[in-house]
Amino acid sequence: MDERILNLIELNRRAIDEINRFKWLESEKQGCDIGDFNAAKEWIIRYYSDWLRGEKQKLPD
């Protein structure tokens, strides 16, 4: 498989891990499960751009 595709798969896996961490933290704060969709939506709005910028620096050219 093309290395670029493998890098994108890994990038997506790490994004999902971050969303799951965010979901757990926010659910703990709110005292209830905020749900996958709300966690993903809020994480993307709040953090995705900065996170992606940092992650791109880690990827090989």
Residues 9-44: pLDDT tens digits?
999 999 999 999 999 999 999 999 999 999 999 999
The answer to whether residue 46 scores a pLDDT higher than 70 is yes
Separation between Cα atoms, residue 24 and residue 12, nearest integer Å: 18
- In this prediction the pTM is 0.87
pLDDT tier, 61 (very low <50, low <70, confident <90, very high otherwise): low
pLDDT tier, 60 (very low <50, low <70, confident <90, very high otherwise): low
Measured CA to CA in angstroms, residue 25 lies from 3, 13, 22, 34, 43 at distances of 33, 19, 5, 10, 11
Mean local confidence (pLDDT), 41-56: 95
